[in-house]
Amino acid sequence: MLAFIARRLATATLVLLVATFIMYVLVALSGDPLADLREQNTPEAQQKMAFRTKNMQLDVPVPLRYLSWLAGVFRGDLGISKNGEDVASMVGSAMTATLQLVVIATVLGAVIGITIGIVSALRQYSAFDHAITFAAFVCFSLPLFWVATMLKQYVAIEFNTWLKDPTIPIGVIAAIAVLAGLLWAAVFTGSAKLRLSAFAIGLVSTGAVLFFLSETHWFADPGLGLPFIAIVSLLAAAGLALLISGYEHPRPLYAALAAAAVGILLYLPLQSLLADPSVLELLGFALLTVVVCAAIGYGVGGLLRRQAIPLAIASGLFTAALIFVDRLLQAWDSYSASVNGRPIATIGSATPNYTGDFWHVSLDAATHLLLPTLALILVGLASHSRYSRASMLEVMNQDYVRTARAKGLPERTVIVKHAFRNGMIPITTILALDFAGVVGGAVVTESVFGWKGMGSLFTKALHEVDPLPVMGFFLVVGISIVLWNMIADVAYAYLDPRIRLS
- Tens digits of per-residue pLDDT, 325-371? 999 999 998 899 888 888 998 888 788 888 888 999 999 989 988 88
The proportion of the chain whose per-residue pLDDT surpasses 70, expressed as a percent, equals 96
A 10 A CB-CB count for 78 gives 22
Q: How far apart are CA 502 and CA 490, in angstroms?
A: 11
Quickly state the pLDDT bin for 108 (edges 50, 70, 90).
confident
Please give the residue that has the higher pLDDT: either 9 or 316: 316
How confident is the model at residue 502, as a pLDDT? 56
The proportion of the chain whose per-residue pLDDT surpasses 90, expressed as a percent, equals 20
Q: What is the mean pLDDT of the chain?
A: 85
DSSP bridge partners of 80: 86
| pLDDT, mean of residues 80-104 | 83
Is the C-alpha dihedral spanning 255, 260, 264, 270 positive or negative?
positive
How confident is the model at residue 499, as a pLDDT? 65
Of the candidates 480, 474, 455, 477, the one whose C-alpha atom is nearest the C-alpha of residue 21 is 474
pLDDT higher than threshold 80 for residue 165: yes
Of the candidates 56, 67, 57, the one whose C-alpha atom is nearest the C-alpha of residue 20 is 67
pTM of the entire structure? Answer: 0.81
How confident is the model at residue 501, as a pLDDT? 57
How confident is the model at residue 497, as a pLDDT? 64
Please give the residue that has the higher pLDDT: either 434 or 173: 173
Of the candidates 61, 58, 78, the one whose C-alpha atom is nearest the C-alpha of residue 465 is 58
| pLDDT, mean of residues 43-52 | 77
How confident is the model at residue 102, as a pLDDT? 80
How confident is the model at residue 258, as a pLDDT? 95
Q: How far apart are CA 245 and CA 10, in angstroms?
A: 43
Q: How far apart are CA 92 and CA 37, in angstroms?
A: 29
DSSP bridge partners of 86: 80
- Count of alpha carbons within 13 Å of 284, Cβ hemisphere only? 7
Is the CB of residue 414 less than 8 Å from the CB of residue 423?
no
